[in-house]
Amino acid sequence: AQSVTQLGSHVSVSEGALVLLRCNYSSSVPPYLFWYVQYPNQGLQLLLKYTSAATLVKGINGFEAEFKKSETSFHLTKPSAHMSDAAEYFCAVSDGLTGGGNKLTFGTGTQLKVEL
């Protein structure tokens, strides 16, 4: 069984400050890991994914995440927050096989608030 745990259901940062959203995973097989973002009243959008090619993954909108096997973590960071980053962020894991690899197990989400 696979699972992800997102630490902190709400995170608040100032505009221009570092964004750090935490995700820890549990998987019995080498995992595929993802970060998705959900803006109000919209569907989810893929930010970035880890598929074992490189431990530091760069995504859209200046976000990146680092896969750390020893810590079973896949934290999402952005050096400088922008007001438009305010949204809900979901970490997800897949075994790459179930449902054609499209069975994702999502965390409970972290709501990011960006303040002036």
Q: Which residues bind other proteins (CB under 8 A)?
A: 32, 34, 36, 41-46, 49, 51, 90, 92, 94, 96-109
Tell me the β-bridge partners of 49: 34
Supply the minimum distance, in Å, between the C-beta of residue 56 and other proteins.
17
Classify the C-alpha dihedral 78-61-106-68 as positive or negative: negative
Among 92, 115, 91, which residue's Cα sits nearest to residue 11?
115
- Which is nearer to other proteins, 42 or 70 (by Cβ)? 42
Alpha-carbon separation of residue 98 from 5, 53, 94, 101 (angstroms)? 20, 20, 8, 5
Q: Which is nearer to other proteins, 2 or 73 (CB)?
A: 2
What is the nearest approach in angstroms of other proteins to the Cβ of residue 85?
19
- Report the nearest approach of other proteins to the CB of residue 19 (Å): 19
Nearer to other proteins, 18 or 60 (CB): 60
